[in-house]
Amino acid sequence: MSDLYRSAMHARIAKLPPVPTTLWPATTAPSYDEDEEEDEEDELDSLGDLPTGLGPPAMPAHTPRDRSRTVTQSRVGQRQKEQREAEINERYAPISASGFFEQALQVAVPNRNLDMRVYYTPPQLPQGSNGKGTVLLCHHGAGYSGLSFACFAREVWDMTKGELGVLSVDARAHGKTTSTSQDPPQQEDLSIDVLVQDFVELIKVVYPDPASSPTLLLVGHSMGGAITTRAIPLLQTSRYNITGTVVLDVVEGSALDALPHMNSILNARPVGFDSVPKAVEWHVNTNTIRNETSARVSVPSIVHPTQLKVPSMPAYEWRTPLRSTAPYWESWFRGLSSSFLAARTARLLILAGTDRLDRELTIGQMQGKFQMAVVQGVGHMLHEDDPRKLAEIVVEFWKRNERLPINVKKVGEL
């Protein structure tokens, strides 16, 4: 009976799967050589003690060898961090604006209590010419600065051999424009009427005599487009010669529709940055600005050292806290389409990709009241993303309208 029982048991055991030769957790440490240990340390340094899906991670053994490994990993991690910092500092180091504009000036505008920063390259007229030349007056969007037009200005200079000048301005509470008011510091008023008056008064200081002033072609990006468009009738009343207006990537209907989502967009932005190169890196890596060179020129002007020294705060913060400008957002864009269509000059709207025109602009386009161009492969900062393409469009627009005989209508002009 016992032999029969044993035979049955052997038969059952034979059908079972083979027993593994090692069990987890291992009771003895596996053997390895030094090269394998270094490879394993590199992997641990990059991945950390993460679960692998093959069971819970083993508890660290408190042995001198394990402590040595921890110290080695820490040193390797520190070296990698330092190497990464060095790469960022080299690749995204700020670039001076001196290679893109001829002058950087602080212009006092007393009746606005402002000391405004402008970047200027005056037009170089052909020898023997009696003309006054033409200057592009460029105004940036909310949160940016006049240096967002730096690469564009250089392209315009090269294409026109200096015949077309560029003046780009830092608005109130942006860039290096500062208040000269003796009143206690308070939140800047960035309503549309204030910003338009700032811009108009600046032009009057830079070109005090409209009769001898160069012809002006206004270029505004986003919020800047709303400002330059509304400034046209005021400048024309003062007898400045406006040859055209160019609005970059802003449509009243789309802008107003996007306002309820602005806080969510701002929430995705970091509070600040540990360094200026890291601010540049963030703009490039998030495709906020797709041109590294332009980002290295413009981004340093939109951050500054953190004012409130708190250990948890980064070293650099945004120069213009966009969330605080929320009360003015609607005033910037409400009525933009009608102002654009009513401008008594040539009109050009340039969009980044196919955007939806509002009803007023759709009707205006069908009636031929303005010229429209679409730049592919760029984001909202199209003048930074592809400055050459934008310069080609604007220079062609200037050529078609600046050199027309008297009494011949310009592009988009009624």
Q: Sign of the CA dihedral 179, 182, 186, 191? A: negative
Helices (H), 48-134: 64-91
β-bridge mates for residue 169, sequence order: 118, 139
Q: How far apart are CA 56 and CA 50, in angstroms?
A: 9
383 is catalytic: no
Pick the catalytic residue: 170, 380, 383, 385? Answer: 380
Q: Which residue bears the tokens 């069908």?
A: 366
Q: Which of 98, 402, 140 is nearest to 413 (CA)?
A: 402
Q: Which residue bears the tokens 């026109």?
A: 160
Half-sphere exposure in the Cβ direction for 311 (13 Å, CA):
0
222 is catalytic: yes
Neighbours of 72 (CB within 10 A): 15
R_g of the chain computed on alpha carbons: 31
Q: How far apart are CA 62 and CA 66, in angstroms?
A: 7
Q: How far apart are CA 340 and CA 331, in angstroms?
A: 15
Pick the catalytic residue: 140, 170, 174, 249? Answer: 249
Give the catalytic positions in this structure. Answer: 222, 249, 380
